[in-house]
Amino acid sequence: MRLDPHLSQRLVKTLLWTLTGVTLLILIFIIVDIAVKGLPQVTWAFLSQDSTDMGRAGGIFPTIVATAYITLLAILLASPLGVGTAIYLTEYTREGWATRIIRFGSECLAGVPSIILGLFGFVLFVLKLGLGWSVLSGALTLAIMVLPIIIRTSEEAIKAVPQDYRTACYSLGMSQWQTVTRIVLPSALPGITTGIMLSIGRSLGETAVLLFTAGAALRTPVSVFDSGRTMAVHFYILAREGISMPNAYGTAAVLVISILLINIAAYTLMQRLMKRYG
């Protein structure tokens, strides 16, 4: 039996739209559930007080500090490496075996699962280099995790800068480095910023890497050698050990909302950029 093509098209379309609807509903459900149960917990006191009784009572201030500390340090470490790589790949070399190896390495690195990164950071930074469970160990490992994101977005941003800009610089007698620092990088800055924001979003939600490199001490870290429990790790421990469901939801709400805001901002920036360069 052959189905009428228009009828079968209608059936298939209905099925595809239904499955798309299901996917959207799952997303909406996740966000609404976290917001409805989590947001009522999020008060000024929740954000600004120390955790007490293993997180059963009090706020999440130490975990916010630890998250910001580790994330910022990781970004500070990864950005020069990532942007430098992108500049090298786009401005300083022709496509060849070297660029192929670098791109391949970066792609593979992007595929390394976080538990493997956690194992690696644990053995190298925590044990071998003697940094212990610390903000520094966590940040070093996270920096490796976000490096491919920064490389890819920076490379795209730099490539999008019109070739005319460079030609104009050279005709004015500027050196290559002057061209890169004065003209190319400033024009690519919004794109590079997008990559950095995506990296921050990725770092905020990371758990497996940090559990084994930054540890889970529930005090506010001061030195880079202090252990620090990030929001995501705190949420994991609260939820898994059943310490406090309301506080788990509250932490999840802060976490998810910050990540969504950062990602939405990054997306908006990218859209604007794409409009500018078409």
Partner 1 sequence: MHREKFIERVLLLLALSSVGSLALITIFIFLEGFPLILSAGLKNFILSSHWAPTKGHFGILAMIISSVFVTLGAMVIGVPLGLSCAIVLAEFSPPRLKMVLKPTLELLAGIPSVVYGFLGVIWLVPLIRNYLGGPGLSLLAASIILGIMILPTVISISIDALTAVPDLYRDGSLALGATRWQTVRRVVLPAASSGIITAIILGMGRAIGETMAVIMVAGNALQIPTSILDPVRTLTSNIALELSYAAGRHREALFATGIVLFIIIMILNLSATLIARRR
Residues 128-147 that bind partner 1 (CB under 8 A): 144, 147
> CA 51, CA 218: separation in Å to the nearest integer?
7
Stretch near partner 1 under the rule CB under 8 A, chosen from 64-72, 159-167, 186-194, 228-236: 228-236
Binding partner 1 (rule: CB under 8 A), the pick from 39, 119, 160, 217 is 119
Q: Are 156 and 85 in contact (CB under 8 A)?
A: no
Q: Which helix (H) or strand (E) holds 52?
A: strand 51-52
Stretch near partner 1 under the rule CB under 8 A, chosen from 57-65, 165-173, 220-228, 252-260: 252-260
Determine if 26 is a binding residue for partner 1 (CB under 8 A). yes
Q: Residue 61 is which amino acid?
A: F
Q: Are 142 and 74 in contact (CB under 8 A)?
A: yes
CB half-sphere exposure, 222, CA atoms < 13 A: 0
Q: Where does residue 76 rank: exposed (0-12), middle (13-18), buried (19+ CB within 10 A)? A: exposed
What are the angstrom distances between the C-alpha of 198 and each of 18, 184, 266? 30, 21, 7
> CA 34, CA 182: separation in Å to the nearest integer?
45
Binding partner 1 (rule: CB under 8 A), the pick from 40, 92, 167, 168 is 92
Binding partner 1 (rule: CB under 8 A), the pick from 85, 199, 227, 247 is 85
140 to 199, contacts with partner 1 by CB under 8 A? 144, 147-148, 151, 175-177
Q: Specify the residue, 69 or 235, whose C-beta has the smaller distance to partner 1.
A: 235
Phi, psi of 51 (to 5 degrees): -80, 140
Stretch near partner 1 under the rule CB under 8 A, chosen from 24-32, 39-47, 66-74, 166-174: 24-32
Binding partner 1 (rule: CB under 8 A), the pick from 139, 214, 248, 254 is 248
CB half-sphere exposure, 118, CA atoms < 13 A: 13
Stretch near partner 1 under the rule CB under 8 A, chosen from 49-57, 66-74, 88-96, 186-194: 88-96
Q: Specify the residue, 39 or 81, whose C-beta has the smaller distance to partner 1.
A: 81
Largest CA distance in the chain: 74
Q: Are 170 and 179 in contact (CB under 8 A)?
A: yes
Q: Are 258 and 63 in contact (CB under 8 A)?
A: no
Q: Specify the residue, 25 or 45, whose C-beta has the smaller distance to partner 1.
A: 25
Binding partner 1 (rule: CB under 8 A), the pick from 32, 45, 57, 101 is 101
Shortest gap between Cβ of 85 and partner 1 (angstroms)? 4
Determine if 14 is a binding residue for partner 1 (CB under 8 A). no
Determine if 35 is a binding residue for partner 1 (CB under 8 A). no
Helices (H), 132-175: 135-159, 163-171
Q: Strand 51-52 to strand 57-58: parallel, antiparallel, or no bridges (unpaired)?
A: antiparallel
36 to 75, contacts with partner 1 by CB under 8 A? none
Stretch near partner 1 under the rule CB under 8 A, chosen from 48-56, 63-71, 160-168, 262-270: 262-270
Shortest gap between Cβ of 232 and partner 1 (angstroms)? 5
Stretch near partner 1 under the rule CB under 8 A, chosen from 54-62, 159-167, 218-226, 251-259: 251-259
